Amino acid sequence: MATAIAAIAALAEIIIANKEKLTELDAAIGDADHGLNMARGFEAVRGKLAGAQAEDAASVLKLTGMTLISTVGGAAGPLYGTAFLRAGAVLQGQAELDTDTAAAMLKAAIGGIKERGKAVRGEKTMLDALEPAYEAFTQAMNEGETLLQCLELATEAAANGVEYTKTIIATKGRASYLGERSLGHQDAGATSSYLMLKALTGFARQ
């Protein structure tokens, strides 16, 4: 669907625009490739979606997930790829994207990341942005907020989660090799997760 393709295009745009920033963050406590990996993946996604106008929204997410898995590489590729596949599965058969469906998609995406990466919150990963975002989203949803407001609050929580990663030691991924030396640095994957939520919020605002 056109909307899903445009939403994914917004994600691609923000990731590609932040390629250097994400790579710099990964350089401090990893292997300096997160931005390169993610930008390569989203360039490939853009290419695939350019020829996929007839696809429904669930198929767009599945194609995105499969493309990320095959092109991003590193730790983040399979994790984000799985997240998009799971979110796409939730969307299957849904006529429109309401707040409940969006929450279920986010939950499924996080579940996929946790299953695949065996990490929990507090290990200085993308989960430190995504889990607080999900909590803020559902809290806002339960208070009757609109999808846009839910996304705005989720993005704010993700930003706080990114800040929080500076204060903790990495125990998963490459940064865990540094132990205490990972303190003071912000996690690259948490940052890319925040950026994607920010892009979705911007897209929803249009």
Binding site for ligand ADP (CB under 6 A): 26, 30-31, 33-34, 37, 74-76, 79, 113, 117-119, 125-127, 172-174, 187-190
Residue 140 binds: one of Mg ion, ligand ADP, none (C-beta under 5 to 8 A by kind): none
Residue 205 binds: one of ligand ADP, Mg ion, none (C-beta under 5 to 8 A by kind): none
Residue 30 interacts with Mg ion (CB under 5 A)? yes
Task: Label residue 175 exposed, middle or buried (CB < 10 Å: 0-12, 13-18, 19+).
Answer: buried
Helix (H, G, I), strand (E, B) or coil at 81: helix
Residue 187 interacts with Mg ion (CB under 5 A)? no
Q: Which is nearer to Mg ion, 99 or 182 (CB)?
A: 182
74-99: buried (b, 16+ CB within 10 Å) or exposed (e) per residue?
bbbbbbbbbbbbbbbbbbeeeeebeb
CA 142 from chain centre, in angstroms, equals 23
Residue 26 interacts with Mg ion (CB under 5 A)? yes
Tokens of 24: 């710099």
Candidates 67-75, 79-87, 97-105, 159-167; binding stretch for Mg ion (CB under 5 A): 67-75
Q: Which is nearer to ligand ADP, 57 or 127 (CB)?
A: 127
Residue 125 binds: one of Mg ion, ligand ADP, none (C-beta under 5 to 8 A by kind): ligand ADP
Neighbours of 180 (CB within 10 A): 8
Neighbours of 38 (CB within 10 A): 32
**What φ, ψ does residue 57 adopt, rounded to 5°?**
-60, -40
Task: Label residue 50 exposed, middle or buried (CB < 10 Å: 0-12, 13-18, 19+).
Answer: exposed
Residue 190 binds: one of ligand ADP, Mg ion, none (C-beta under 5 to 8 A by kind): ligand ADP
Residues in region 120-179 near Mg ion by CB under 5 A: none
Whether 57 contacts 3, CB under 8 Å: yes
CA distance 185 to 71: 27
Residue 172 binds: one of Mg ion, ligand ADP, none (C-beta under 5 to 8 A by kind): ligand ADP
Residue reference for tokens 């704010």? 156
Residue 117 binds: one of ligand ADP, Mg ion, none (C-beta under 5 to 8 A by kind): ligand ADP
Q: Which is nearer to ligand ADP, 122 or 149 (CB)?
A: 122
Residue 78 interacts with Mg ion (CB under 5 A)? no
Q: Which residues bind Mg ion (CB under 5 A)?
A: 26, 30-31, 33-34, 74
